Amino acid sequence: MNKSTLKLKTIFLTLIMLLTLSSTTLRAQPTDDFAAERERAIKLVNEKKYTQALPILEKLAADKRADGQIFFGLGLVHWEMQDAIFSDKTRWKETRLKARAAFLKAKELGTSYPEIDLTVASIRADGGDKAASDNPQAQAASEEAFEAFKSGDYKKAAAEYEKAATLDTSWYEAALYTGNSFYALKDYDKAGVWFAKAIALDPNRETAYRYWADGLMNGGKNKQAEDKFTDAIVAEPYNSAAWRGLNQYAGRNNVKLAHPKITVPVEFSASGDGNTKITLGNLTGGKDDDGSFAWTMYGISRALWQTGKDGKLSEKFARAYPNERVYRHTLAEETDALRTVLTVLKDNKKAKNIDSSLAMLKKLDAEGLLEAYILFARSDAGIKQDYAAYRQSNRDKLKRYLTEYVMKNGGL
């Protein structure tokens, strides 16, 4: 394991253990066998008894009641156990892939920490380490570059990282760190060339965009920097590091970031057994012509997406997601609910002076940015799963939303 990889692993484990230690106090659990086993597994993980915790966590993860903490613990156990089988590359990669899958499931279920993103990003599709190369010469050059960079010899670091990137042209990290070394030398143009190469290798990772943006900003090219900072968010909107870059840029340039001000005066919840609860706020505010009556359709529309009392998926969900067997709140459901509100609003001729939230919602939909708004401003664990598929064909709309609304204080 190379030194940069070891450093990532050490930082990750230190932070994760601190977070995991308090997991048993997150909320009270029912006193049944499942809850008791859950607490037992967490205790074993905190005591670093990973081999004992593993079979319990695997059993818990197969239960429909499994929450994000269970998958988080399962991922941590697999991640820690990789060291014991490092010499067996096949098993080592398989274990890392199991860790990756568990961490992603934990994130899907709402247990999300920046360290999870960092770790998942470090694992290749085959289970290998993105911070390492299968080319021994490229790996050796990278390790020499790492030592040079650490000692402050950025010129040597740039030369060695460039050598590594040339020897392994598919290695994102080598291109990224070559750019970062030139950045440290304040050669922002050369840095940009290498950041662009990293992006070409993987346009859905935020780091190279953000590093490039920093260089552009330091070079006085603010408009270009803004472009790259927003590209970083389009690449990974649920990674806090991507937003940190844009926030720093905004603070430095007196830009106020904000999503459009839209208040949905409806609270919706579903138990998963056909029962839904819809609570309406003040829909009229004393007016008859502001169109707020249309919000009643938000909850009604969402109810049609829920699983029935017989446990059967709704027709709407099954049609939209034919390969999924478990309900989740989706981009399609949220879009359908908000568009149903707009349809009712359009059909009622009395709504002459619609309220500001409806007006903004209508504007976003007319501009083709409703989905982008939902993904950035109204996403939950379920909706986030639809982001990658939407980004594949709609990168331009996501970028437009950020530049025309978020960068302009909500578009106001």
Phi, psi for 302 (deg, rounded to 5): -65, -30
**Same domain for 272 and 372?**
yes
**Does residue 128 sit within a domain?**
no
- Co-location of 67 and 152 in the same domain: no
pLDDT digits (tens, 9 = 90+) for 296-347: 999 999 999 999 988 899 999 999 999 888 899 999 999 999 999 999 988 7
Neighbours of 3 (CB within 10 A): 13
Could you read off the pLDDT of 79-99 as tens digits, one per residue? 999 988 888 889 999 999 999
The last residue of a domain, from among 55, 90, 121 = 121
292 and 386, same domain (yes or no): yes
In this structure, the answer to whether residues 181 and 233 fall within a common structural domain is yes
- Identify whether 13 is part of a domain: yes
Residues 111 and 149 in one domain: no
Phi-psi region of 152 (alpha: psi -120 to 50; beta: other; left: phi over 0): left
Q: Are residues 234 and 286 in the same domain?
A: no
260 in a domain, yes or no?
A: no
* Cβ atoms < 10 Å from Cβ of 283: 16
Instruction: Tell me the CA distances in angstroms from 101 to 19, 112, 303, 321, 385, one per residue in order.
Output: 19, 14, 31, 21, 14
Mean residue pLDDT of the chain comes to 88
Query: Which tens digits make up the pLDDT trace of 11-69?
Result: 344 344 434 434 433 333 445 689 899 999 999 998 989 999 999 999 999 998 898 88
Are residues 110 and 239 part of one domain? no
Q: Identify residue 152 by its one-letter amino acid code.
A: G
CA 220, chain centre distance (Å): 30
- Specify whether 143 is located in the same domain as 204: yes
Separation of alpha carbons 180 and 164, rounded Å: 14
Q: Is 269 left (phi over 0), alpha (psi -120 to 50) or beta?
A: beta
Pick the last residue of a domain from 223, 252, 281. 252
C-beta of residue 179 within 8 angstroms of C-beta of residue 208: yes
Same domain, 245 and 168: yes
Phi then psi for 285, rounded to 5 degrees?
Answer: 60, 25
Look-up of token digits 């299968």: 134
Domain boundary among 121, 156, 188: 121
Residue-range definition of the domain harbouring residue 280: 266-411
For the domain that residue 237 is a member of, what is the CATH number? Answer: 1.25.40.10
Co-location of 197 and 330 in the same domain = no
- Asked if the structure places residue 129 within a domain, the reply is no
Domain of 98, CATH number, reads 1.25.40
What is the average per-residue pLDDT within 267-288? 78
Residues 239 and 277 placed together within one structural domain of the fold: no
Domains contained in the chain, number: 3
- Phi then psi for residue 266, to 5 deg, are -135, 130
In angstroms, the CA 181 to CA 154 distance is 6
Q: 278 with 400, same domain?
A: yes
Find the angle CA(96)-CA(98)-CA(99) to the nearest 5 degrees: 65
Cα angle 301, 305, 310 (rounded to 5 degrees) comes to: 130
Task: Please indicate, yes or no, if residue 127 is contained in any of the structural domains.
Answer: no
In the chain, the percentage of residues whose pLDDT exceeds 90 is 65
Using 50, 70 and 90 to split pLDDT, how confident is the model at 285? low
User: What is the rounded distance in angstroms from the CA atom of residue 141 to the CA atom of residue 157?
Assistant: 9
**Inside any domain, residue 126:** no
Between 275 and 187, the more confident residue is 187
Q: Would you say residue 259 lies in a domain?
A: no
Q: Tell me, what's the pLDDT at 140?
A: 96
In a domain, 36, yes or no: yes
Provide φ and ψ at 389, rounded to 5°: -65, -40
